[in-house]
Amino acid sequence: MSWDLQTQCEEWRERGLWRELRVLDSMQGPVIHLDGQELVNFSSNDYLGLAASAELQEAMREGIERYGAGAGASRLVCGTLRPHRDLEDALAEFKGTEAALAFSSGYATALGTIPALLGTGDTVILDKLCHASLVDAAKLSGATIRVFPHNHLGKLEKLLQCANGRVLVVTESVFSMDGDRCPLAEIVELKDRHGAWLMLDEAHAVGVIGPDGRGLAAELGLESRVDLQMGTLSKAIGLSGGYLAANRQVIGWLINRARSLVYSTAMPPSVAYAALVSVCKLVRGPAGDLRRQRLRDRLSQLCPEKSPASAIVPWIIGDELNAMEMSSRLREAGFLIPAIRYPTVARGSARLRVTMSADHTKEQIGRLLAALGDAGLPCA
């Protein structure tokens, strides 16, 4: 059987689904340089504006000076350096758990965790809008997969009633493409009632929501009732990597059985060192509170008639080609807001995903609102 890849590529281009890498010629930030053009960037997940901050640049330099550029090995061989352990201790304290484990990425965190805990005969129940990494991890586990409509508590309860084996409910604090929150308190009640575990992905909540930016579970006082708290270091924290926070028994098991951890070289120790600085000194405390307040102020300016649930504000277009056209018009006006299309979102639900940073200025947001109005998108 021949594989006509060229035809498939052409079909994706015709349907407005083709993607290409964008190469920035500047640091990450509210203003970037792309293909010789200066653009205001409303597409980054750098919610607190830390990715290019002087504080994290200095922390990276200090981490390299102390611990070198690379880890040199996987975590179980000799790749666990002091910053890795210090970061994990800080993350556990930050998330209100007994222990935590750092991975090289959020994707690796999901792929290592779910298959290590579940297998054939068990059940994974996912929200329909869960991130691809969570879906892929569930498939890799070999467990039976059940999916409930987005935030539909009634359907979730029915699936819990007929689930077999060990049962894990998987959802997100803040959903990456819609920016809305899960009904966490109700989900916790359901999973407790039916003896299931809950894995909560706080990737887009940490740094933004809750006391000290500790996430939705902390905001609702539910840390002790969420069995597995997953997150990333690559969004509000400003770096790269992922983590799983849980009890010591779970973390010990993952150290032995999470294949994406056991068989991967550890994250660079300088990244772990800088992440420790970010969590302890920049995300938490007065410095973090100031950034979160600026972020809330900017969101209020963008959406004055409602309070967004997160730093993510989608403008739904529907048609993929129309979304591409809107994105191009905004780029001509000086803004980078890529069109989000299938398969990232469902067919016919293409959108412009505006993400806010604490470092955006009021003037930049005013210009964006004017450009959205000119493009026929006056409100989210």
Radius of gyration of the chain (CA): 21
Sheet of 31-34, strand order? 31-34, 37-41, 335-336
**8 A C-beta contact, residue 176 and residue 208:** no
In terms of Cα–Cα distance, which of 265, 241, 243 is closest to 254? 243
Q: Are strands 123-127 and 144-148 parallel, antiparallel or unpaired?
A: parallel
**Catalytic position from the list 122, 172, 178, 227:** 172
- If phi over 0 gives left and psi between -120 and 50 gives alpha, with beta otherwise, what is residue 182? beta
Q: Are strands 197-201 and 31-34 parallel, antiparallel or unpaired?
A: unpaired
201 is catalytic: yes
**Catalytic position from the list 176, 260, 270, 357:** 176
325 is catalytic: no
**Catalytic position from the list 201, 202, 223, 359:** 201
260 is catalytic: no
**Catalytic position from the list 84, 131, 191, 360:** 131
357 is catalytic: no
25 is catalytic: no
- 148 CA to centre of own chain: 21
In terms of Cα–Cα distance, which of 144, 148, 245, 244 is closest to 187? 148
- What Å distances lie between residue 371 and 324, 334, 335, 375, CA to CA? 15, 9, 9, 6
219 is catalytic: no
- Residue 35 burial (10 A CB sphere; 0-12, 13-18, 19+): exposed
**Catalytic position from the list 41, 43, 45, 234:** 45
178 is catalytic: no
CA torsion through residues 204, 208, 209, 210, sign? positive
Distance CA 320, CA 348 (A): 7
Sheet of 350-355, strand order? 312-318, 350-355, 339-340
**Catalytic position from the list 141, 235, 260, 320:** 235
Q: Catalytic residues, which ones? A: 45, 131, 172, 176, 201, 204, 235
